[in-house]
Each structure stands twice: as C-alpha cells, then as structure tokens.
Amino acid sequence: MNDKTILDVELLQGYLDNLGVTVVEKMQSLYQQQSVVYLAEIEQCIGHADSKAWQESCHKMKGAAGSIGLHLVRSHLAAIEKQLLTSEERSSLFSQLTTLNEQGLAAFKEWLTLSVSH
C-alpha cells in the first residue's frame, strides 16, 4: 500500500500549505487521542444485537478520519457502518479497522515528516 491509497495527500497538503505544520501536527495528535475513544465505542458495540449503536459509532469515526485525511480508514468505515453484521463479522471488521487506523496514523506521521523536511 502506498500513501496515496492510505492518505488523502491532496487534502493534507492543503492543510499544510494553508494552516502550517504546527496546526497539522495538532490535528494529527487530536485525532490520535480521539481515535482511541472512537475505537473503544465501536468495540463496545460488537456484541449488541441492535446495529444502531454500531452505525453511529462508525459514522463518528468515519467523519473524523476523513477530516484528517485517513482515506483508507474512512473508506473502511463507510463500507461497514450500515451493514447488518453478526458479532463475529463485527469483531473481524473491528480488528481490520484497528490495523488500518494504526497504518494510517503511521503513514500520516511519515508523510508529515517528509513534507516538512523538503
């Protein structure tokens, strides 16, 4: 996977050009902290029979991931938020989401480091 599939580089570059590195670093830090909360909320919904809480939790994280340029995380959440899923399916998709979020944050940090050093 390259950064273009993981990240919305055009969006991030726009942020960097218009807001500066300090603001972009703060955005990344805030998302990283908040994503822990979002993931915990989604994980709590895995065993719920009602899918509304799952959908709402995925939807919240989808918006946050999109706003920070985590394209692959946002796409994954968009694909899973409205599906009717078993607990086992949710568990598997949650595991994938956690991995994608970690990859996205790592790619973001790497992109920012490379962008700032140029």
Break the chain into its structural domains and give their ranges: 3-117
Structure tokens at 58: 């995925």
48 Cβ neighbours under 8 A, 6+ residues apart: 54
CA distances from residue 46 to 81, 87, 93 in whole angstroms, order as listed? 12, 5, 10
Q: How far is C-alpha 117 from the chain's CA centre? A: 25
Q: Which fold has domain 3-117?
A: Four Helix Bundle (Hemerythrin (Met), subunit A) (1.20.120)
* pTM reported for the whole predicted model: 0.92
For residues 29 and 105, what is the distance between their CA atoms, to the nearest angstrom?
10
Segment 16-21 mean pLDDT: 96
| Longest pairwise C-alpha distance within the chain | 50
Q: Is the pLDDT of residue 3 over 80?
A: no
Structure tokens at 64: 């946050």
